[in-house]
Structure 1
Amino acid sequence: MRDTLRGIVDLARLGNCVAAGALTATGAFVAGASGAAVPTALAAATTVFAVAAGNAINDYFDRQVDAVNRPDRPIPRGAVSPRGALATAAVWFAVAVAVAVRLPALAIGIAAVNLVALVTYTSLFKGTPGLGNALVAYLVGSTFLFGGAAVGNPRAVLVLAALAGLSTFTREVIKDVEDVAGDREEGLATLPIAVGERRALRIGAAALVVAVGVSPLPYFSGTLGAAYLAVVVVADAVMLYATYESVADPGAAQRRFKYGTFLAAAAFVVGRVAVVV
């Protein structure tokens, strides 16, 4: 029983869930949600449960690949059955829907699209070269957009959503390079398998260059000040270095990339705080 409970918790990947909820709250804060604690909390909770459910669905469809690439995950190691993973995902999706219906219409629409994307990602899009990466990139970027929509100001986080989405696309490509062996054995046509690892990394790098080019816009438009620019430049440097590192060590590179993404989000928070103060 203890191993099963631990397996259910592991299905959610709590670190990812909390991080995604924090990104949604960040989007709400950047959008100017100083007096909107309730919708911010509802949006963050929706994100947490939706991501948990999506991770469980992903583990269900990825159980054969994970037997090669991630044998320590709950289904391959026998802690949770495939049917149990589906049932757990259904409960978490139901909770996410129950919380989301109290949000504004646009936020509900974004949540509905994202729930469908989470369910269909592994079963339909993951093995399509580039498309699965783009879908994950959209989902990450939309967490900020969802937070902004929850407090009625999605336009304020468009650049943040674009920066997060483009940089996530690069990180997902790097992850696919890391997982080439298991994906090839499973017959998945991921981007590195379809076009080659080096070419896939160049495509990912191109997306990051666009993200880096977009990142100073809030400063030059006068929306955020020098504090934002100082932090986002460091975030850009971390992600650019991770992209360079991916050629030799994609595993270390994609982990470093995650830090760069969160640092970029922190830049927007710092910039927003500086404006409020």
Structure 2
Amino acid sequence: MSLGARARGFVELTRPGNALAAGVLTFTGAFVAGATLGDTLAVVAAVLATVFATGAGNAVNDYFDRDIDAINRPDRPIPRGAVTAGEAKWFSVALFGGAVVSALALPLVAIAIAVVNLVALLAYTEFFKGLPGVGNVVVAALTGSTFLFGGAAIGEPLGALVLCILAALATLTREIVKDVEDIAGDREEGLRTLPIVVGERPSLWIGVAVLVVAVAASVVPFVRGDFGLAYLGFVVPADGVMLFASAQSFENPSAAQRRLKHGMFLAAFAFIVGRATSLTLAV
């Protein structure tokens, strides 16, 4: 295999789109929590820590999931032979090291969040993924915590709390839908995911219920007067996209989970618009 193909395999292990997106979410959390230009170094360190940690978590997940991926995702780097399992393991260790070094430049609360998240990432596939609903909750909490981490980097860990809750709940729904999509490989591997234990349709209905709570949470900043109509103009379409996706999941889980992801990022953008608008009005 060529050097370029192997290098591509290592990059793919990190899911670069997801890793960079997680960094953007951390930046969003810091911005919504009130970051200023004086917080630039802290925000950059937090974003780097998030990107490294997400990439490491994805790589170690591929290491543990290599047998399942041979069924569900044969195009991933380890099943197709671009990277060996041992190389993926040590590559993830190096990325975790980068996350730790970056996080050490942050306040104590942010470091604590980083430590908890790193432990959860390491334990996820080995201990949590096969437990009905537990693995879904862990991934949801990790996604939501990126916003808390961004706020904690500037000393305001609760500054993006509503955004954290919204993201965690929407991610929980998406993870349930993904488990429905991956049910064949998970069953072959002997995992006990939520759809395997309680059935596909009941699991999807749980996802719908969780998403409805998330949509309700999304209007809280407007009701409290934190953000104005500009925020509402973006978050309502985002809610519509996610609700449509949850309904679509009963017929096409693959398309639905991608649409849920798009809706989540649109909702995060709504918070950026809300924060930017509030700053403009305050000037």
Gaps of 5+ in 1: none
Written as runs of structure 1 = structure 2, the 5 A alignment for 1:5-20 is 5-20=7-22
Counterpart of 1:29 (choices 22, 28, 31) is 31
SS where residue 103 of structure 1 aligns? coil
Matches within 5 A, 1:39-50: 39-50=42-53
Q: How does 1:122-271 map to 2 (within 5 A)?
A: 122-271=125-274
Partner of 1:80: 83
Deviation, structure 1 residue 2: 2.1
| In structure 1, distance between residues paired with 2:19 and 2:159 | 24
Distance in 2 (alpha carbons) for counterparts of 1:144 and 1:79: 34
The answer to whether the 8 A contact 2:32-2:160 is kept is yes
Q: Partner letter of residue 228 of structure 2?
A: G
How far apart in 2 are the matches of 1:118 and 1:144?
A: 17
**Separation in 2 of the partners of 1:127 and 1:102?**
35
> Quick one: which amino acid aligns to residue 276 of structure 1?
L
Equivalent in the alignment of 1:66: 69
Letter in 2 for 1:155: L
Tell me what 1:2 maps to. 4
Which of 86, 93, 96 in structure 2 is aligned with 1:93? 96
Q: Which amino acid aligns with 1:236?
A: D
| Residue identity opposite 2:141 in structure 1 | Y
SS in 1 for 2:166: helix
Residue type of the alignment partner of 1:33: A
Distance 2:229 2:86 in 1: 52
Q: In 2, Cα distance between the equivalents of 1:260 and 1:204?
A: 15
Aligned partners of 2:127, 2:13: CA distance in 1, in Å? Answer: 20
| Deviation beyond 2 Å, 4+ runs, structure 1 | none
Deviation of residue 225 (structure 1)?
1.1
Distance in 1, matches of 2:209 and 2:66, equals 32
Q: Matches of 2:266 and 2:155 in 1, distance apart? A: 25
> In structure 2, what is the Cα distance between the partners aligned to 1:140 and 1:149?
15
Structure 2 unpaired stretches of 5+: none
Q: Within 1, Cα distance between the matches of 2:227 and 2:58?
A: 34
If the length of structure 1 is used for normalisation, what is the TM-score? 0.99
Aligned-partner SS, 1:229: helix
Report the Cα offset of residue 232 of structure 1.
0.8
**Contact (CA 8 Å) 2:173, 2:211: kept in 1 or not?**
yes
Q: Distance in 1 between matches of 2:268 and 2:43?
A: 16
Deviation (angstroms), 1:229: 1.3
Q: Alpha-carbon deviation of 1:34? A: 2.0
Aligned counterparts of 1:156 and 1:110: Cα–Cα separation in 2: 15
Report the AA paired with residue 64 of structure 1: D
**Percent identity over paired residues:** 59
Rounded to whole Å, the distance in 2 between the matches of 1:142 and 1:245 is: 27
SS of residue in 2 equivalent to 1:154: coil
Equivalent pairs counted in the alignment come to 277
Q: Secondary structure at the match of 1:155?
A: coil
